[in-house]
Amino acid sequence: MEQLKVLFHVSDNECWQRALMNIQNFLNDIGERGADVEVVANAGAVVAYYSDGGQLELTDQMARLSGIGVRFTACRNAVRAHSLDESLKPSFVEVVNAGITEIVKKQGEGYAYIKP
């Protein structure tokens, strides 16, 4: 079977818990090596990369998923709009020029789109 490709779009900080559980359940179902998974965070959702408001388990989960191949990206416009310092982001987060461009390009490459 061809490798599945999935993009998760997270724009609300409140949706991270659900998004990470979606990804974990998906990988449990198809196997950790069964899909290319990318998360694009824009708007308010980039804040959780820097501080999960006491919910430390969120960034822990992200780091662990990153370790098994899930790619986490942040929209640079959103990082700046929230006065966050790009140089202080966690090492597992990649900043992209514009989140929407990333999402559009990935769909063009055959990634399924999921809004958790």
Chain positions contacting a second copy, by CB under 8 A: 4, 6, 9, 11, 18, 21-23, 25-26, 28-30, 35, 42-43, 75, 77, 97-101, 103-105, 107-108, 112-116
Nearest Cα neighbor of 60 from 30, 28, 106, 16 is 16
E strand or H helix at 20, and its extent?
A: helix 16-30
CB neighbourhood size of 60 (10 A): 12
Q: How far is the CB of 56 from a second copy (least distance, A)?
A: 21
Rounded to the nearest whole angstrom, what is the least distance from the CB of residue 78 to a second copy in the complex?
A: 8
Residue 11 or 66 with smaller CB distance to a second copy: 11
Q: Which is nearer to a second copy, 23 or 93 (CB)?
A: 23
Question: Nearest Cα to 11, choosing from 65, 108, 63, 82?
Answer: 82
